[in-house]
């Protein structure tokens, strides 16, 4: 078999990413006959940045947007307040002013009034004509925004704008912006128009319609605009939108990344499963890292570390079982060789950069350890792990060395530290690789689905304790046996614990409010939304929770019926 080419990783010789330029944009909203509408411009196909895309008015924040003189036109808003709202030490006011200036330049809409409080009346032809000329002069650089404001005795109505979102252009793009999105009601009595230069068309459109037209292929949108329209589509009126926006604080920056999918390069966001992995293996944003897990295709995760996924996808195994290879031409360590699939074993042998000397397993479920015997027969490598409990799981697994918690296992790619993490399985081990700060987590943590705790070998109480202990380890990313690399390990672990405790609280509450029940009667009360094959899995999880609650003395079993105890009632 010809080895599949390994995905290359960005090297140190590559240029540093472009530093994003500060930018601001203004989403103007109005109440249309069929609901909230926003103003969008279509960029010229000749534009350097996102040609042909439909966008909100906006652009780069100029130095002049932050000059001290501009504060005179900013009304109540000062730089300290503006910066605080954006989470910046200083310079925040420039984003507000830049958004208004860009919106006037690009759309002809000016979020301003006279200093005496009068609205700008573009219904008067001479006023409209004068401002049209001022817009041309501003676009041509014949006047500055501050001069324009002074000449027309304007006060910018920045108090009508609310900070709404923060997007940063993906690493790897040759033009990048760090953009603050604002929302505001459209100024009354003004007519929006595109400039026929940078922008060639414009439209007031319902966010849902824009998304619909995009889906049909007739309305080009970039990722951040699409996500923003998705958020905007949840509001029926301008008042709803503004009330919501005023109530939000602590807006996090979002930075999409570029990866390669079945149809070529595309942008992915933080909600996509591959997002964290793209940041880890392609920090310079070259876009060649894969957005999907392809069985038989090796992915290079770091120097001397690869992932190769077995072709056993299912509702239990997600995209398939991940086998990890660590090492070099001198020797290779395999973690979780996978199911007894000769094709997968052949792929492991083909992708190993050198002779396989060690086979490690995380636990002895049938999708993780059975290939150890096949691989051992072909390589003579030493087999490391803990044996299966008597009579269940993979009885063919015959480790020559049973590591203990805290042991170090040397590999050609650096030492692995053994963490005994019972819970999913009593013999479960995780392997921490300090050189990369990757935790090979087996099934202790998997991506995209809840780990099954199947008693009696699975144990919820020890599972939660094994999660807790990970909080003390120095982990950068989790490398699960199912799914992509995951970042924010502390957050992931805390949420997994919280999820189980929430479920436990639901079970306790069901017993308290609806009275004692058998396991069978409890199942639909606790897992109402689950059907099909997952129902069996849910029944095992419920049993695991009840076992834990019994050990915690919060429930007791009497003649096959579960009762909440006083401790459960007080504690729950
Ligand atoms: Zn398992």
The average pLDDT across 404-416 equals 98
Which CATH number describes the domain made up of 295-487?
3.60.15.10
CA 479/CA 485 separation, integer angstroms: 5
Integer Cα distance of 102 and 21 in angstroms: 15
Long-range interactions of 90-95: CB distance < 8 A, separation 24+: 91/22, 91/66, 93/65, 93/66, 94/22, 94/24, 94/61, 94/62, 94/65, 94/66, 94/70, 95/22, 95/24, 95/61, 95/65, 95/180, 95/182
CA angle 321, 323, 326 (to 5 degrees): 160
Mean pLDDT of 489-506: 96
CATH 3.60.15.10 range(s) for the chain read: 295-487
C-alpha of residue 23 to centroid of ligand 1, in Å: 48
- pLDDT surpassing 80 at residue 276: yes
Q: What is the mean pLDDT of residues 202-226?
A: 95
Of the pLDDT bands very low, low, confident and very high (cuts 50, 70, 90), residue 535 is confident
Question: Tokens representing 386?
Answer: 């803990």
454 CA to middle of ligand 1, Å? 10
Q: Mean pLDDT across the stretch 252-259?
A: 95
Average pLDDT for 145-149: 93
> What integer pLDDT is reported at residue 7 of this predicted model?
45
In this predicted structure, the answer to whether residue 9 has a pLDDT above a threshold of 80 is no
The Cα 401–Cα 385 span in angstroms is 7
Confidence bin at 569 (pLDDT 50/70/90): low
Q: What percent of the chain is modeled with pLDDT above 70?
A: 96
Give 342 Cα–ligand 1 centroid separation in angstroms.
20
Name the band, by pLDDT with cuts 50, 70 and 90, for residue 199.
Answer: confident
**pLDDT higher than threshold 70 for residue 395:** yes
pLDDT of residue 192: 82
Give the pLDDT confidence score for residue 12 in this predicted structure: 44
Phi-psi region of 304 (alpha: psi -120 to 50; beta: other; left: phi over 0): left
Average pLDDT score over residue span 533-538: 85
Spatial distance between the Cα atoms of 508 and 506, rounded to a whole number of angstroms:
6
Average per-residue pLDDT for the chain: 92
Given a cut of 50, is residue 2 above it in pLDDT? no
- CATH entry, 21-246, from 3.40.50.10470, 3.90.79.10, 3.10.50.30, 3.40.640.10: 3.90.79.10
Ion ligand 1 — residues with CB < 5 Å: 365, 443
CATH of 496-571, one of 1.10.10.10, 1.10.1040.10, 3.30.70.3000, 3.40.50.720: 1.10.10.10
Any idea which of 151-165, 232-246, 473-487, 531-545 has the lowest mean pLDDT?
A: 531-545
Q: Among residues of the chain, what percentage have pLDDT more than 90?
A: 81
For the cut 90, the answer to whether the pLDDT of residue 11 exceeds it is no
Q: Is the pLDDT of residue 571 over 60?
A: no
C-alpha dihedral over 343, 345, 346, 349, to 10 degrees? Answer: 160
CA of 350 to the centre of ligand 1 (A): 26
Interval 282-335: pLDDT, tens:
999 999 999 999 999 999 999 999 999 999 998 888 999 999 999 999 999 999
C-alpha 320/C-alpha 447 separation (Å) is: 11
The Å distance, Cα 425 to ligand 1 centre, comes to 7
Cα-to-centroid distance, 363 and ligand 1 (Å): 7
- Cα-to-centroid distance, 65 and ligand 1 (Å): 57
Report CA(79)–ligand 1 centroid distance (Å). Answer: 55
User: Which range has the worst mean pLDDT, 154-158, 194-198, 214-218, 341-345?
Assistant: 194-198
Indicate the SS3 state at residue 252. Answer: coil
Across the strands, what pairs with 165?
A: 181
Contacts of 533 (CB under 8 A, 6+ apart): 315
Residue 549, pLDDT > 90, answer yes
Q: How confident is the model at residue 69 (pLDDT cuts 50, 70, 90)?
A: confident
Structure tokens at 45: 């196909």
Ligand 1 centroid distance, CA of 544 (Å): 15
Lowest mean pLDDT among 169-173, 201-205, 466-470, 567-571: 567-571
CA of 384 relative to ligand 1 center, distance in Å: 17
State whether residue 11 is helix, strand or coil: coil
Tell me how far apart the alpha carbons of residues 388 and 372 are, in angstroms, rounded to a whole number.
Answer: 13
Distance 51 CA to ligand 1 centre (A): 48
- Residue 3's pLDDT band, with cuts at 50, 70 and 90, is very low
Give the residue from 23, 78, 79, 85 showing the smallest Cα distance to 249: 85
Predicted structure pTM score: 0.86
Burial class of residue 244, CB neighbours in 10 A (0-12, 13-18, 19+) = middle
- CA distances 26 to 22, 228, 233, 256, 317, Å, are 14, 12, 16, 20, 45
pLDDT at 321: 97
> How far is the centre of ligand 1, averaged over its atoms, from the C-alpha of 520 (Å)?
25
- Mean pLDDT for the stretch of residues 458-469: 97
- 552 Cα: distance to centroid of ligand 1 (angstroms): 25
CATH 3.90.79.10 in the chain is located at 21-246
Residue 94: per-residue pLDDT: 96
């Amino acid at each position: 078999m010809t080895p599949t080419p390994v995905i290359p990783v960005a090297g140190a010789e590559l240029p540093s990413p472009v530093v994003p330029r500060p930018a601001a944009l203004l989403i103007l909203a109005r109440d249309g006959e069929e609901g909230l509408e926003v103003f969008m411009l279509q960029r010229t196909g000749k534009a350097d940045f996102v040609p042909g895309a439909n966008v909100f008015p906006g652009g780069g924040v100029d130095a002049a947007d932050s000059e001290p003189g501009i504060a005179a036109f900013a009304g109540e808003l000062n730089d300290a307040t503006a910066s605080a709202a954006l989470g910046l030490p200083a310079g925040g006011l420039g984003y507000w002013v830049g958004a208004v200036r860009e919106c006037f330049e690009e759309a002809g809409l000016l979020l301003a009034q006279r200093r005496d409080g009068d609205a700008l009346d573009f219904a008067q032809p001479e006023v409209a004509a004068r401002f049209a000329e001022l817009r041309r002069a501003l676009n041509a650089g014949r006047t500055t925004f501050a001069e324009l404001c002074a000449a027309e005795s304007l006060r910018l109505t920045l108090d009508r704008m609310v900070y709404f979102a923060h997007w940063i252009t993906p690493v790897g793009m040759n033009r990048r912006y760090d953009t603050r999105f604002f929302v505001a009601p459209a100024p009354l009595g003004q007519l929006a128009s595109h400039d026929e230069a940078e922008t060639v068309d414009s439209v007031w459109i319902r966010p849902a319609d824009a998304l619909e037209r995009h889906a049909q292929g007739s309305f080009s949108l970039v990722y951040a605009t699409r996500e923003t329209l998705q958020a905007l589509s949840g509001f029926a009126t301008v008042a709803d939108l503004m009330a919501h926006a005023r109530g939000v604080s602590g807006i996090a920056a979002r930075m999409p990344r570029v990866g390669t999918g079945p149809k070529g390069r595309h942008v992915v966001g933080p909600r996509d499963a591959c997002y964290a992995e793209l940041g880890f293996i392609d920090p310079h944003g070259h876009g060649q890292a894969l957005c999907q897990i392809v069985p038989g295709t090796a992915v290079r995760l770091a120097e001397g570390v690869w992932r190769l996924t077995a072709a056993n996808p299912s509702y239990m195994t997600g995209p398939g079982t991940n086998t990890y290879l660590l090492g070099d031409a001198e020797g290779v360590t395999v973690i979780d060789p996978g199911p007894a699939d000769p094709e997968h074993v052949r792929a492991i042998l083909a992708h190993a950069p050198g002779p396989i000397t060690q086979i490690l397993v995380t636990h002895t479920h049938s999708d993780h350890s059975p290939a150890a015997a096949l691989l051992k027969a072909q390589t003579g490598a030493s087999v490391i792990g803990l044996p299966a409990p008597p009579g269940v799981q993979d009885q063919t697994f015959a480790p020559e060395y049973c590591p203990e918690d805290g042991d170090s296992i040397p590999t050609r790619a650096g030492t692995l530290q053994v963490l005994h993490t019972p819970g999913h399985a009593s013999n479960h081990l995780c392997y921490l690789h300090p050189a990369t700060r990757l935790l090979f987590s087996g099934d202790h943590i998997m991506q995209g689905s809840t780990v099954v705790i199947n008693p009696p070998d699975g144990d919820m109480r020890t599972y939660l304790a094994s999660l807790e202990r990970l909080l003390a380890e120095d982990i950068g990313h989790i490398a699960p046996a199912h799914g992509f690399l995951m970042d924010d390990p502390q957050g992931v672990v805390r949420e997994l614990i919280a999820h189980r405790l929430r479920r436990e609280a639901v079970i306790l509450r069901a017993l308290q409010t609806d009275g004692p029940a058998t396991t069978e009667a409890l199942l639909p009360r606790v897992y109402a939304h689950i059907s099909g094959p997952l129902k069996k899995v849910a029944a095992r999880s419920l049993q695991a929770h009840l076992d834990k609650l019994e050990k915690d003395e919060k429930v007791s079993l009497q003649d096959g019926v579960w009762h909440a105890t006083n401790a459960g009632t007080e504690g729950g």
